[in-house]
Amino acid sequence: MKKKEILAILVVGLVGAGVLLAQQGNITVKGSDTMVILGQRWAEVYMKNNPGVTVQVTGGGSGTGIAALINGTTDIAESSRPMKDKEKADAKAKRGKDVLELPVAVDGLAVYVHEVNPVNELSLQQLKGIYTGAVKNWKEVGGRDERILLYSRENNSGTYVYFKEHVLENADYYPTAQTLPGTAAVINAVARDPRGIGYGGIAYGRGIKHLRVKPDASSPGVEPTMENVLSARYPISRYLYWYFAGQPSGDLKAFTSWVLSAEGQRVVENVGYYPLPERVRAESRTKLGRSESKKPNASR
Amino acid sequence: MSTAANTIRLASLVARRRWREWVTEKFIYLNAVGAIALIVLIFVFVAREAYPVLVNSVVHEEVTVEALFLPQNYGTPEAPLPYVWQPVSQVPKYSLMPLLLGTLKVTLVAMLLAMPLAILAAIYTTEFAPRWLREAIKPVVELLAGIPSVVLGFFALVVLASWLQNLFDFDFRLNAINAGVAMGLAVIPIIYTISEDALTAVPRSYRNAAYALGASRAQTAWQVVLPAALPGVFAGVVLGFGRAMGETMIVLMASGNAAITSWSFSESVRTLSATIAAELAEVVFGSPHYHVLFFIGTVLFTMTFALNWLGSRMIGRLRRRLTGVDR
């Protein structure tokens, strides 16, 4: 009997401790594969400075993160594309709260080719032609007389959707585009394929040649550098977002406002993305800070 | 008097034993039924999620059953695109033909590689190999079945694809042949194990009779043992075929996943199973896309089920033939 009692107390104690731990600042972050490394670096640095808080970061794709937010299984959804109105409505219907959208970093999409490819720049129009199958040979865009082999992402990725909307202007990818699971896989494939072309985050793009992108046929090609992305001269750049169901509070809010601080934005740079321009960062901070002052009104 | 008491005691013992037997039997029966019920329930669930593709008018605004199978007008008159799988699009396009074709191509390559290798290996181990060698080969081939398919897929993605491309100068590094070869490795142990069992099950007397008539070992193997075991060997092939069709991880990694409609084996392919694996995690619950993915699941389930059923019928026929019940 004694033993059983001790066991029971132990179990109750453990469960209690678990619940306590779970309440005491366990933050889950889920979503975009592009942002996983960024999210993890943020979590590591933040947890080092705030020992009481646990931040768990997982990927799966922007869609996965948003679905998790709608279903209430994550605190923060990371997304490399803006949430659709329908998704926001779903979240509102399921969670009963408005979705809060905060840009947290800037990313440029790079277009990669194999190192030995003589082509150094392409216009948006040419990129569209290549990915929709109108242009099939490198010769047509100033390269060698070789077939162009397309590498793309799976249709669940935010990068896929972003590229389709901004470069293909919503046209369909050509069916021969090979779809790979993740930017790293695309880079890996292009690195082994002198005839290949791929796209993905700049942060991943090491050891492969980035193309300069021309906004239109007559303008000069723009390198995907920090200045060019931040000044929006580089034509394929995007915000990376965090989404919340309702206004964050407590640890969640503290973590988020740290991410938007100068220190948090330095992490962004270290990982290889771009910090938010000052104006957008200020906007994000007000949106986050507004929470307390607005709450009494909202509860009316 | 004591005999009467003994009889009573015996009777109660028998009754108790019979009762215990009844309970055991029912328990085992329930287990068996439960296993079957589970399979049926899985099928019912998958089919229920697929059902709206047939009847739901909301789903029909995006996709109809005809659009899944029949050629559509997606391209321009100069460059017609009759079969397109492009579910994330302004106009979602859900043709299953490129996916069916992809599954077929990969499976075909896998079978062309695995069938001869596995059957010849089975014949060698049962008919020709010395005992020690047989006892070495059999477990090693069966070990191949234990390799996780994701490992095979990774091997095909990183190593095999480069070898094959250097060898044959493919345009697409990841293609049907690459995925098919990797899949063949996964199918070999299935065909081998079942063929080997079938060949071993051929009675000793068949062989002795052949030797007595002056046949050589090769003649006995080819003309007596193999024909006798043929239904079993065929069953192995059919089961291997089913496995190849449903296999997901290898094709997801090694095939390039481009939904191209062509008969060329050197182009990338997207299979039914890989499509489900790649897209189901992200799809909006209850959307037409979601239901179409379950429809694909139902198609796959039905095909593999039919093949497995055929396979087990073949094994049954072999058993009857060898025990001589129906001849």
- Write the pLDDT tens digit of every residue in B46-60: 999 999 888 888 888
Chain A CB contacts of B267 below 8 Å: 176
Digit-coded pLDDT (tens) for A231-268:
778 888 888 999 999 888 888 999 999 999 999 999 88
User: Is residue A299 scored above 50 in pLDDT?
Assistant: no
Q: Per-residue pLDDT averaged across B140-167, rounded?
A: 89
> What is the distance between the alpha carbons of residues B314 and B312, in angstroms, rounded to a whole number?
5
Q: Per-residue pLDDT averaged across A2-12, rounded?
A: 62
pLDDT value at residue A241? 93
Of A270 and B202, more confident: B202
Q: Is the dihedral of CA A71, B85, B73, B302 positive or negative?
A: negative
Confidence grade of residue A295 (pLDDT, cut at 50, 70, 90): very low
pLDDT value at residue A24? 53
Q: Per-residue pLDDT averaged across B34-47, rounded?
A: 92
Q: Is the dihedral of CA B306, B312, B313, B315 positive or negative?
A: positive
A61, A177, A193: residue with CB nearest B258:
A177
Digit-coded pLDDT (tens) for A35-58:
888 898 899 999 998 888 889 888
* CB of B177 closer than 8 Å to CB of B250: no
In 3D space, the residue among A208, A199, A192, A111 whose CA is nearest the CA of residue A153 turns out to be A199
Chain A CB contacts of B174 below 8 Å: 178, 189
Q: Per-residue pLDDT averaged across A55-84, rounded?
A: 88
> Is the minimum CB–CB distance between B171 and chain A shorter than 8 Å?
yes
Measure in Å the smallest separation between the Cα of A31 and chain B Cα atoms: 11
Measure in Å the smallest separation between the Cα of B323 and chain A Cα atoms: 52
A147, A172, A177: residue with CB nearest B171:
A147
User: Is residue A20 scored above 50 in pLDDT?
Assistant: no
Digit-coded pLDDT (tens) for A165-187:
889 988 889 988 998 877 778 88
> What is the distance between the alpha carbons of residues A261 and A265, in angstroms, rounded to a whole number?
6
* CB of A111 closer than 8 Å to CB of A127: yes
Confidence grade of residue A5 (pLDDT, cut at 50, 70, 90): low
Q: Per-residue pLDDT averaged across A217-228, rounded?
A: 83
> What is the distance between the alpha carbons of residues B11 and A296, in angstroms, rounded to a whole number?
83
Beta-carbon separation of B173 and A176 below 8 A: no
DSSP letters for A163-193: HHHHTSTTPPPPTTPEEESSHHHHHHHHHT-
Of B10 and B195, more confident: B195
pLDDT value at residue B142? 84
Q: What is the DSSP letter of B256?
A: B
User: Is residue B297 scored above 90 in pLDDT?
Assistant: yes
User: Is residue B254 scored above 80 in pLDDT?
Assistant: yes
> What is the distance between the alpha carbons of residues B300 and B308, in angstroms, rounded to a whole number?
12
Q: Per-residue pLDDT averaged across B54-71, rounded?
A: 83
Best of B88, B251, B279 to disrupt the A interface by mutation (most A CBs within 10 Å)? B88
pLDDT value at residue A294? 39
Measure in Å the smallest separation between the Cα of A221 and chain B Cα atoms: 29
* CB of B175 closer than 8 Å to CB of B268: yes
Digit-coded pLDDT (tens) for A110-161:
899 998 899 999 999 999 999 998 999 999 998 889 999 999 988 877 788 8
> What is the distance between the alpha carbons of residues A105 and A190, in angstroms, rounded to a whole number?
26
User: Is residue A13 scored above 60 in pLDDT?
Assistant: no
- What residues 262-291 of chain B have any CB closer than 8 A to a CB of chain A? 267-268, 270, 278-279, 281-285
Range in A192-206, B12-26, B107-121, B216-230 with the lowest mean pLDDT = A192-206
Chain A CB contacts of B278 below 8 Å: 154-156, 179, 181
Helices (H) and strands (E) in chain B, counts: 15, 2
Strand, helix or coil for residue A260 = coil
A172, A178, A195: residue with CB nearest B256:
A178
pLDDT value at residue A51? 87
* CB of A39 closer than 8 Å to CB of A46: no
Supply the mean pLDDT for chain A.
Answer: 83
Confidence grade of residue B92 (pLDDT, cut at 50, 70, 90): confident
**Chain B residue whose CA is closest to A186:** B256
> What is the distance between the alpha carbons of residues B17 and B247, in angstroms, rounded to a whole number?
47
pLDDT value at residue B114? 95
pLDDT value at residue B320? 80
> What is the distance between the alpha carbons of residues A75 and A245, in angstroms, rounded to a whole number?
8
**Chain A residue whose CA is closest to B162:** A192
- What residues 15-34 of chain B have any CB closer than 8 A to a CB of chain A? none
pLDDT value at residue A205? 55
pLDDT value at residue B327? 43
Beta-carbon separation of A175 and B85 below 8 A: yes
Beta-carbon separation of B278 and A172 below 8 A: no
Q: Per-residue pLDDT averaged across B68-80, rounded?
A: 77
Q: Per-residue pLDDT averaged across A210-214, rounded?
A: 89
pLDDT value at residue B30? 94
**Chain A residue whose CA is closest to B91:** A172
Chain A CB contacts of B81 below 8 Å: 175
> What is the distance between the alpha carbons of residues A129 and A137, in angstroms, rounded to a whole number?
11
> What is the distance between the alpha carbons of residues B279 and B267, in angstroms, rounded to a whole number?
21
Strand, helix or coil for residue A84 = coil
User: Is residue A293 scored above 70 in pLDDT?
Assistant: no
